[in-house]
Each structure stands twice: as structure tokens, then as C-alpha cells.
């Protein structure tokens, strides 16, 4: 048994941020991580010189964002790619009609303008919606007020469905009406040609991180906490648990005594989503040049509806699409080859025989990952925005929950992970700490 000031469970971005701040203030911190690597849901694979971000790719808006500031301070390269939040426009997007013909500029403008008109009414519907209203119900209430013809309504309804799937990996009837309230993007979005995981590597520098130390039980009293691992127990004055809520809710992770009712009820109302990435690298580009994204409307795009040209970041002709929500659940049991063939069939509906065989395919499997159990959190119907922040209320100043799901303003992101880790460190230290403490002292 070893005694520390603070135990941190999880070496994802939240855990590393909290650990780095606490260590910089002289606290004795150890980070216990189940995997054989740091970063958690920020994970880059590298093979044959190909850099693939299997987890997070984007900073969703660099303005006033501590993640962007950290990335700058660490000297990480970025590429602008402002289409990662299912924007209808702003950057060139090639829309294809239900029959596979490319929409003219005028037709695209009409469609985009419909989305903006809808959103104005939709904001009021959501603000006035009763508790337990789903996102899907709020959409239908808004359409009943607009009285648009079927085709117009169908395309915008479908856009909202796809946005819900891509942003949160959930079917719109399973999401609370307020589930996308915090979806504002400030400034450009960027991705990482050298891999997002460099952020985790920088944050972990100089910290005491114990890899392959899965914690199965946390026991706590007002006097301190113990974490059980197969390497033995670790004890400290306090403990910060940053694991994804999918793991936190699972029977394999025990907190004894259990979380207080206020926390456990908030936790019950949040869920892990189903969201997987599919990267297809081709020998050459067969799609329109100079577009950020390709989108298919209509039934043909029920599952595979959006492709992102990530060639610049990857350094080779590459499209990224997502299996999200129902599609991710249905294709979970499929082989990578089966998934790739299904995506290629959808692309042939747009580009016919110009579609060539990919020379490399990557499919993520976050739903089957025992240390994640999904990709990120969403608000189930009946949840409240404050459920996120409520999770972060310190328990007897011994047990702290942190991580993306505990941050209200921009949950489900790396930004939320950094902000929540920073807040937890401030809670423990009992005073404000500037964000730049996170990157001060980096030796890159
Ligand atoms: C496919 C995908 C795409 C995404 N895209 C984006 C994006 O573009 N932009 C964005 O901002 N965000 C994105 N996200 C979300 C973002 O990655 C997460 O919100 C963020 O990384 C969460 O950080 P965290 O520290 O809260 O949790 P995690 O990164 O999950 O860290 C928790 C750590 O705890 C460890 N752990 C779990 N169980 C145990 C245990 N029992 N014992 C010890 N350790 C344990 C895990 O291995 C992990 O390292 C994406 C996520 C995924 C999966």
C-alpha cells in the first residue's frame, strides 16, 4: 500500500489535466490508468506512416478555448476544418438530392435558408418545452407551426436527424430537447495532421502515471480513499474518478459506499452514445475537389449520409464517415469489410463507377471498448443540463467525479474534459488556478 495526496483514476485528458495542475502546485499525485497508453478517448494510431485519430479529431471552435491555447503552447500542428459540428454551410459542402444528383447552388441556398428559418422557431420551441420533451418531439412541434410542404419539411427534418446522430450519436427521440443546447462553435474548427494524442503525451510529461492499473473498486470514508487494482491497493487523502460514465455505471466498477442520491440520479439520466468512425483511404480522389463535405439526402442516406474529405490532414485521399446512433448499433456486429462495402455502395449512388476500391479501411469499435463503453455522453429524455455539473459536486471533499460528462457548457468534448479537470483541481486546491498552469513548464 502506498500513500499519496491524490489518486486520479483515468489518464484521459480530464485526469491528466487535473494531475498536471495538482502536481505543479506541489501535490503528490498518482494516475491509475487501465490501458497501456494515456489519452483515453483521444487516441491516434500510426501505421505505415498513416496517422489516424480513432477518437477525437476536432477542436470545435478555437476562440477562447483552453484546448486551443494548450495546443499552441505545446507547438502542435493543426489544419483548419470547420465542418465538424454538422454545420449546414460556412464551408463548401456538396449536397446530393435523394436521387443522387448534385444540388445546384440555388437549391443548396434554399435548403440552407430553410434550416436557418427552422432554427429560429426551434429555439423558441425548445426554450418553452415541458420537461421530458424529446428532441424529436420538439422538432415535430416546430414543423406543425411552420406548415411547410412535405418535401421541404422532409429535408430539414432529415438534416436535424443526421445532425443529432453525428453530434451526439443518438436517435433524436432518445435525446432530451435540450440535448444540443450547448452546440455553439466559437471560431474555426481544427484537426491534427500529427495526431490529437500529442496533447495527452504533453500533458502526461513528468507525471506519475501507472499504466495497466485498472481500478475495480473505490472505497472511501471522510478520512480518505483506496483504489483496488491487480497490483494492489493505492490509498490517498482524496480520489478523482475521471472514467467514462459507461464504465462508471457498469457492475465492474464499484464505489463503496455508493454515490449519494443526487449524484446517482444525475448519472442515471446521462448515457453513453453509439458513434463510430469509418476512414477510407483511396488510391486517388474520385469526388469533387475543394469540398469539405459530401452529403446525401433522402432514404439513400438513411445510414451513410455524410463524408468528410480529410485528405489534407491525412496526406492521402481519404474520406471519413460515421456510423452514428441506430446505424452504429446495427453495424456493431458487422466486419470491417462488410461496413466498407456498405459505405462504398452508398458512394456509388453518387459517383457511380468512378468509385475505386479503398486501399485501407479503419473502423473504430468504441462500443466494445471495456474502458469506454461508447464514445461520449448524451442527455436522455428527462435529464437536465445541470445534471452534468451536479456530478462534479465534491463528495465529502474526498471523492470527486470529473471528465467530459461532468461539464455542462460543452459536454462530450475534449474541451469539456480539460475544463472539468481544471475545475476539479481548483476544487481540491480551494482556489482559482489560471488555465496556463496546464502548459507552463512544458519542455517541448
Ligand atoms: C470516436 C470519437 C470521436 C470524438 N470526436 C471528438 C471531437 O472531434 N472533438 C472533441 O472535442 N471530442 C470528441 N470526442 C470526445 C472526446 O474524445 C472526449 O470527450 C474526451 O476525450 C473525454 O476525456 P475524458 O478524460 O473525460 O475521458 P477519457 O478520455 O475516456 O479518459 C478516461 C480514462 O479512464 C480510463 N479508465 C476507464 N476505466 C478505468 C478503470 N476501471 N481503471 C482505470 N482507468 C480506467 C480510460 O482508459 C481512459 O484513459 C470523440 C470521442 C470519440 C470516441
Atom 26 (ligand 1): residue with closest C-alpha? 403
Q: Which sign does the torsion angle of CA 234, 241, 27, 429 carry?
A: negative
Mean of pLDDT values over 114-132: 96
Nearest-atom number in ligand 1 for the CA of 216 is 41
**If 0-12 CB within 10 Å is exposed, 13-18 middle and 19+ buried, where does residue 115 land?**
middle
pLDDT digits (tens, 9 = 90+) for 281-332: 999 999 988 899 999 999 999 999 999 999 999 999 999 999 999 999 999 9
**CA 200 to CA 90: how far, in whole Å?**
30
Residue 443, pLDDT > 50, answer no
**CA 19 to CA 410: how far, in whole Å?**
21
Q: What is the DSSP letter of 205?
A: T
Rg (CA), the chain: 22
pLDDT digits (tens, 9 = 90+) for 235-250: 999 999 999 999 999 9
**CA 32 to CA 12: how far, in whole Å?**
10
Q: Comparing C-alpha atoms, which of 369, 358, 425 is closest to residue 394? A: 425
Q: Comparing C-alpha atoms, which of 29, 418, 22 is closest to residue 210? A: 29
Q: In the beta sheet, which residues pair with residue 400?
A: 240
* Cβ(129)–Cβ(177) below 8 Å: yes
Q: Give the binding-site residues of ligand 1, using a 6 Å CB cut-off.
A: 9-15, 32-35, 40-42, 55-58, 60, 84, 214-215, 242-244, 247, 253, 275, 277, 364, 366, 371-372, 375-376, 403-404, 412-417
The residue written with cell numbers 455524410 in the block is 306
**CA 393 to CA 127: how far, in whole Å?**
26
Residue 442, pLDDT > 80, answer no
C-alpha grid cell for residue 320?
A: 471519413
Mean of pLDDT values over 160-176: 97
* Cβ(193)–Cβ(51) below 8 Å: yes
Residue 37, phi then psi, degrees to nearest 5? -155, 165
318 CA to middle of ligand 1, Å?
24
Q: Give the chain's length.
A: 444
Mean of pLDDT values over 150-172: 95
Question: Among the CATH numbers 2.40.50.140, 3.40.30.10, 3.90.660.10, 3.40.50.10490, which is that of 44-58+81-86+188-193+273-365?
Answer: 3.90.660.10
pLDDT digits (tens, 9 = 90+) for 179-222: 999 777 899 999 999 999 999 999 999 999 999 999 999 999 99
**DSSP 3-state assignment of 301?**
helix
In the chain, pLDDT over 90 holds for what percent of residues?
Answer: 94
Nearest-atom number in ligand 1 for the CA of 244 is 30
Q: In the beta sheet, which residues pair with residue 306?
A: 295
Mean of pLDDT values over 109-129: 96
- Identify the weakest region by mean pLDDT among 199-203, 223-227, 440-444: 440-444
pLDDT of residue 444: 52
pLDDT digits (tens, 9 = 90+) for 44-103: 999 888 899 999 999 999 999 999 999 999 999 999 999 989 999 999 999 999 999 999
Residue spans per domain, the chain = 2-43+195-272+376-437, 44-58+81-86+188-193+273-365, 105-174
412 CA to middle of ligand 1, Å?
9
Q: Report the run of H or E that residue 420 belongs to, with start and end.
A: helix 414-429
Nearest-atom number in ligand 1 for the CA of 214 is 42
Mean of pLDDT values over 254-283: 98
**CA 377 to CA 411: how far, in whole Å?**
8
pLDDT of residue 48: 80
279 CA to middle of ligand 1, Å?
19
pLDDT digits (tens, 9 = 90+) for 359-383: 999 999 999 999 999 999 999 999 9
pLDDT of residue 440: 87
pLDDT of residue 293: 97
pLDDT of residue 2: 55
**CA 291 to CA 93: how far, in whole Å?**
6
Question: Among the CATH numbers 3.30.70.100, 3.20.20.70, 3.50.50.60, 3.90.230.10, which is that of 2-43+195-272+376-437?
Answer: 3.50.50.60
Q: How far is CA 211 from CA 5, 8, 231, in A?
A: 19, 12, 11
Amino acid at each position: 500500500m502506498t500513500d499519496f495526496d491524490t489518486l486520479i483514476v483515468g489518464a484521459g485528458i480530464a485526469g491528466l489535466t487535473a494531475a498536471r495542475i495538482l502536481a505543479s502546485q506541489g501535490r503528490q499525485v498518482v494516475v491509475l490508468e487501465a490501458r497501456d497508453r494515456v489519452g483515453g478517448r483521444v487516441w491516434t494510431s500510426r501505421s505505415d506512416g498513416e496517422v489516424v485519430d480513432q477518437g477525437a479529431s476536432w477542436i470545435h471552435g478555437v476562440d477562447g478555448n483552453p484546448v486551443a491555447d494548450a495546443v499552441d503552447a505545446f507547438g502542435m500542428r493543426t489544419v483548419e476544418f470547420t465542418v465538424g459540428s454538422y454545420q449546414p454551410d460556412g464551408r463548401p459542402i456538396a449536397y446530393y438530392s435523394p436521387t443522387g444528383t448534385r444540388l445546384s447552388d440555388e437549391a443548396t441556398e434554399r435548403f440552407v435558408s430553410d434550416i436557418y428559418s427552422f432554427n429560429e422557431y426551434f429555439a423558441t420551441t425548445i426554450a418553452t418545452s415541458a420537461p421530458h420533451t424529446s428532441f424529436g418531439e420538439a422538432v415535430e412541434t416546430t414543423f406543425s407551426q411552420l406548415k411547410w410542404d412535405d418535401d421541404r419539411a422532409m429535408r430539414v427534418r432529415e438534416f436535424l436527424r443526421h445532425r443529432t446522430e453525428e453530434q451526439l450519436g443518438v436517435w433524436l427521440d432518445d435525446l432530451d430537447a435540450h440535448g444540443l443546447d450547448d452546440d455553439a462553435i466559437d471560431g474555426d474548427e481544427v484537426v491534427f495532421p500529427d495526431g490529437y494524442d500529442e496533447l495527452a503525451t504533453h500533458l502526461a510529461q513528468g507525471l506519475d502515471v501507472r499504466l495497466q492499473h485498472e481500478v475495480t473498486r473505490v472505497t472511501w470514508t471522510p478520512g480518505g480513499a483506496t483504489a483496488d487494482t491487480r497490483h494492489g491497493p493505492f490509498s490517498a487523502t482524496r480520489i478523482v474518478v475521471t472514467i467514462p460514465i459507461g464504465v462508471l455505471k457498469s457492475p465492474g466498477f464499484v464505489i463503496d459506499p455508493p454515490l449519494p442520491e443526487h449524484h446517482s440520479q444525475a448519472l442515471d439520466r446521462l448515457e453513453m452514445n453509439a458513434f463510430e468512425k469509418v476512414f477510407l483511404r483511396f488510391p486517388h480522389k474520385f469526388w469533387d475537389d475543394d469540398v469539405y463535405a459530401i452529403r446525401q439526402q433522402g432514404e439513400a442516406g438513411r445510414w451513410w449520409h455524410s463524408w468528410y474529405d480529410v485528405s489534407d490532414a491525412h496526406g492521402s485521399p481519404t474520406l471519413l464517415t460515421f456510423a452514428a446512433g441506430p446505424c452504429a448499433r446495427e453495424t456493431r456486429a458487422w466486419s470491417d469489410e462488410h461496413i466498407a462495402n456498405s459505405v462504398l455502395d452508398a458512394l456509388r449512388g453518387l459517383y457511380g463507377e468512378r468509385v475505386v476500391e479503398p486501399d485501407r479501411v479503419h473502423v473504430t469499435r468504441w462500443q466494445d471498448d471495456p474502458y469506454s463503453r461508447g464514445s461520449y455522453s448524451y442527455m436522455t429524455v428527462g435529464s437536465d443540463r445541470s445534471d452534468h455539473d451536479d456530478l462534479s459536486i465534491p463528495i465529502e471533499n474526498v471523492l470527486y467525479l470529473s471528465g467530459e460528462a461532468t461539464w455542462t457548457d460543452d459536454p462530450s468534448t475534449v474541451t469539456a474534459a480539460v475544463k472539468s479537470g481544471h475545475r476539479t483541481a481548483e476544487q481540491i486546491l480551494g482556489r482559482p488556478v489560471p488555465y496556463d498552469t496546464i502548459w507552463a513548464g512544458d519542455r517541448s
